[in-house]
Chains A and B, each alone.
Chain A
Amino acid sequence: MSRAQQNRVAITGNEAVALAMKQVEPDVVAAYPITPQTDIVQYFSSFVADGEVQTEFVTVESEHSAMSACVGAAAAGARAMTATSANGLALMWEVLYIAAGLRLPIVMPVVNRALSAPINIHCDHSDSMGARDSGWIQLYSEDAQEAYDNILQAVRIGEHPDVLLPVMVCLDGFIISHSLENLKVLDKEQVTAFVGDYRPDARLLDAKRPITVGALELQDFYFEHKRQEAEAMVRSAPIIEAVADEYARLTGRKYSFFEAYRMDDAEVAVMVLNSAAGTARAVVDQLRRRGVRAGLLKLRVFRPFPGAALAEALAGLSVVGIMDRAEGLSAAGGPLFVEVRSALLGRPRHPLVLNHIYGLGGRDVGPDQIEQVFADLLRAAEAGEARQQVTHIGVRD
């Protein structure tokens, strides 16, 4: 595949997602508006009204119905998409598990927003983190460019015959969804060629080969079904890599499970998801100029969780600070922290692992907060132990 000519456009994160959806032109989009995802559905409904896409657009009465309609459409053999945020995602909960359990490759942008209460419309990751064990692949996006690129790759990953799992593409509410960004996009024809057709080998609307979807499975089959689903998540890892390689040949933009920034000789590093990576990168550069061996690990794929590769990438550090934009409320640290620390367990040599919870409910995270995290890591590196394992950064005492 030869490198594609790309157009440079200035659009918001939500416009970038809507554009990706328009270029994919799914058979069915069923969606319900919720801040800060609203623009995506609004733009997409304009594409439908203006005849720019042939998609069947279903205006539903709730997110539970949006996901249910996507499940029905995907089971029928259609390529189906929706989009949501926060409480909307929460309302989809039971149907998320059904989409994954039925192995339907629905693609859903999730514009990350804090869950109520207290009610709040701004960014944190409590929504998608709550859905981390629902059987969906989760891709996280630092900016609008990555959100656009992730949507196109998500279609290929989810629909791969070895995978057949739904995929969430997460991007930070307002910080990315509503900010104007300069990004490179493909033409519709290039996207059409890249994503190809969704041709499931069994579908409800095949009258010649009738099937049953969603039958009861009791003690004698449920476990085998789940074992199979677990295997699909494992098998998605090499597919994610292969799709990223193909996408890199097309666009020049190379993605993997995570980005290791100035990690080669790093002594201390932070790990983040989504938009805070940009700020963290700038702080790392600043610290490097002062002679501090600082690094950044930006995770792109949270499900499947690349535990072994992460442990390898973090092995040389003295201390790593896992930054969670979700509390977890487990009394044991945030969700990213818990999983990374568990991935390191049993390694012959591993860094001290600290957890910094930040940015809840859209609380701004500036360079000062990330510098504070690095100061904590350096202090722990020197002392050989942490003052406390879980620290809330940027909250008033």
Chain B
Amino acid sequence: MSERKPGWKQIPRGGLILEAGNAAQYLTGDWRSLRPVWDPEACSHCLFCWVYCPDAAILVAEGKMKGINLDFCKGCGICANQCPRTGALTMVTEGSVTAQAGS
């Protein structure tokens, strides 16, 4: 992840959470080791992925697939598995994506 998390000198004592309602700030997408890559050209907008995604990470607007919210996608691959089209959703390793971004 690009954003550096706080070190032991910065975090509150004993794992205390000092602000109310900040769970939304915890980006569970950090856990992902596989990433879905969406190809809009191959997509038929059937929205099976949107129905099946357990993390509500498929972004939809006006009945069309718009992309994936990588802040909360945990990379389970259910979307790619149930997608009826070939090549619309492909799972790639996070490592390959970050290596590409770094090169």
Contacts and interface: CB of A to CB of B under 8 A. Distances in A.
Query: What size tier do the contact residues of chain A reach?
Result: 20 to 34
A161 to B, nearest CB: 9
Given A220-B5, A224-B7, A211 B15 contact: no
A101 B20 CA distance: 21
Contact of B15 (A102, A209, A210, A220): A102
Contacts of A265: none
A164 interface: yes
A215 B30 CA distance: 18
Given A210-B20, A220-B30, A221-B5, A101 B11 contact: no
Interface string B1-21: 000011111011111111010
Contacts of B15: 101-102, 213-215, 217, 221, 225
Task: Determine which residue in B7, B12, B14, B30 has the highest number of CB atoms from chain A within 10 A of its CB, and name it.
Answer: B14
A225 B8 contact: yes
A164 B18 contact: no
B16 A225 contact: no
Closest 8 CB pairs of A and B: A103-B14, A212-B17, A224-B8, A227-B8, A228-B8, A210-B20, A102-B14, A225-B15
A209 B20 CA distance: 8
20 contacts: A103-B14, A104-B14, A164-B13, A202-B12, A202-B13, A202-B16, A202-B18, A211-B16, A211-B18, A212-B17, A214-B15, A215-B15, A221-B15, A224-B6, A225-B8, A225-B14, A225-B15, A227-B8, A228-B11, A228-B14
B16 A101 contact: no
B89 to A, nearest CB: 27
Binding site secondary structure of chain A: loop
Task: Determine which residue in A212, A213, A225 has the highest number of CB atoms from chain B within 10 A of its CB, and name it.
Answer: A212
A9 B12 CA distance: 45
Nearest to A212: B17
A56 interface: no
Interface residues of B, number: 15
A102 B13 CA distance: 8
Contacts of A214: 15
Contacts of B5: 220-221
A228 B30 contact: no
B27 to A, nearest CB: 10
Given A102-B14, A221-B5, A227-B8, 10 more contacts: A202-B16, A209-B18, A212-B16, A213-B15, A213-B16, A214-B15, A220-B5, A224-B7, A225-B8, A231-B8
A235 B54 CA distance: 45
A228 B13 contact: yes
B8 A101 contact: no
B11 A221 contact: yes
Given A220-B5, A225-B8, A231-B8, A211 B17 contact: yes
Interface string B25-38: 00000100000000
Interface string A209-251: 1111111010011001101110100000000000000000000
Contacts of B6: 224
B7 to A, nearest CB: 6
A215 B15 CA distance: 7
A224 B14 contact: no
Contacts of B12: 202
Nearest to A223: B8
Nearest to A218: B31
A217 B11 CA distance: 12
A210 B18 CA distance: 7
A218 to B, nearest CB: 8
A387 B13 CA distance: 49
B41 to A, nearest CB: 36
Contacts of B14: 101-104, 164, 213, 225, 228-229
A225 B17 contact: no
A164 B14 CA distance: 9
Contacts of B7: 224
Nearest to B12: A202
Contacts of A212: 16-17
A205 to B, nearest CB: 14
Contacts of A221: 5, 11, 15
A349 B9 CA distance: 37
B76 to A, nearest CB: 17
